[in-house]
Amino acid sequence: MPVSICNPAHIRYLGRSEGLLAKNDPLDAGLIERFANSKRPAAEPPLSRAQLALNEMATHRRQIVEAIKVMRTHRQQVSAEALVVEIDKTIAILEERLAVLDGQLREKIETQPAWKRTFEELTKTKGVGFVTALTLLVKMPELGTLNRGQCAALSGLAPYDDDSGQHSGRRSIRGGRCEVRNALYMAALSVIRCNPILKAFYQKLRDEKKPFKLAITAVMRKLVIYLNSQLKPLRTAT
């Protein structure tokens, strides 16, 4: 059955525009129906079992990484030596599991020619490593089929206006896919050290007295747009 995944906030805003303040299941069902009939959102492309499995493995990897961070923070807060030893054992087990999972993810990517080509193309760019390439492959499969604006918006890096009349507000990013934005942030920290083109771009912004967050966000946006352009020939070929 074709389905469309929509932002629930958009549906709720439609209800508010109608003056609908109450919320219950019958009202929600009617509101969703009116939204669907009004907007006619396109059906999402179906995901294969292989795509779903890779997505689940990537999510599990992120959960293991978060668990390691939690345990390391906890280790800094305890003083009992016996407990420190137990925490170290847990961390070692998690790190071992993480290494095994990374190997399994690489093997799974190798089994799919399209994934393999995409992964190799992404990692050709200096500063884009295994984690960033994996996140983009899994969480942003549309990469290579988007225009510049769509690419920035989907990754949560599009600056939106806040103007009204003579008031010119400060632009800010919002929305998009959080996991993609987080991965691009870590990649950008590496890129501004080892990628000569984006390093020069970042330094130019800093020399112009731009704040760090603004400069690093601009690098992230430029990076994902560049990666999108690099993947376009692959998408065209397939």
The radius of gyration of the chain from alpha carbons, rounded to an integer in Å, stands at 22
Phi, psi at residue 40, to the nearest 5°?
45, 60
Burial string for 160-183 (b: 16+ CB within 10 Å, else e) reads: eeeeeeeeeeeeebeebbebbbbb
Give 125-158 pLDDT, tens digit per residue: 988 999 999 999 999 998 999 999 999 999 999 8
Give 36-85 pLDDT, tens digit per residue: 999 999 888 887 889 899 999 999 999 999 999 999 999 999 989 999 99
**Sequence-distant contacts of 115-118: CB under 8 A, at least 24 apart:** 115/54, 117/234, 118/143, 118/144, 118/231, 118/234
- This prediction has a pTM of 0.84
pLDDT band for position 238 (50/70/90)? low
